[in-house]
Amino acid sequence: MQPITSDIVRARLRRWFGPILDETGWRSNLVDAQAEHLLNWGMAQVAQTAVHTQRLPDEDADPLLEKDSTAVRLIMVGVNDLIGTIGQPPAFDLVDDTMTRVLKNLRWLTNQPLRPDNLRRVSQFNQAREAADRDGAFQQLLALIQTDAG
User: What is the tens place of the pLDDT at every residue in 43-95?
Assistant: 999 999 999 999 999 999 999 999 999 999 999 999 999 999 998 876 668 88
Reported confidence tier of residue 2, pLDDT bands at 50, 70, 90: very low
Q: How far is CA 69 from each of CA 9, 54, 87, 106, 138, rounded to the nearest angstrom?
A: 14, 15, 30, 12, 21
In a domain, 119, yes or no: yes
125 and 138 in contact (C-beta within 8 Å)?
no
Measured between alpha carbons, how far is 63 from 75 in angstroms, rounded to an integer? Answer: 18
In a domain, 1, yes or no: no
In a domain, 86, yes or no: yes
In a domain, 65, yes or no: yes
CB atoms closer than 10 angstroms to residue 50: 26
In a domain, 29, yes or no: yes
3-state DSSP assignment of residue 24? coil
CA dihedral 117, 122, 126, 132 (to 10 degrees): 90
In a domain, 150, yes or no: no
In a domain, 69, yes or no: yes
Measured between alpha carbons, how far is 8 from 116 in angstroms, rounded to an integer? Answer: 36
pLDDT averaged over every residue in the chain: 90
What is the count of structural domains for the chain? 1
78 and 94 in contact (C-beta within 8 Å)?
no
In a domain, 80, yes or no: yes
Domain that holds residue 87: 7-145
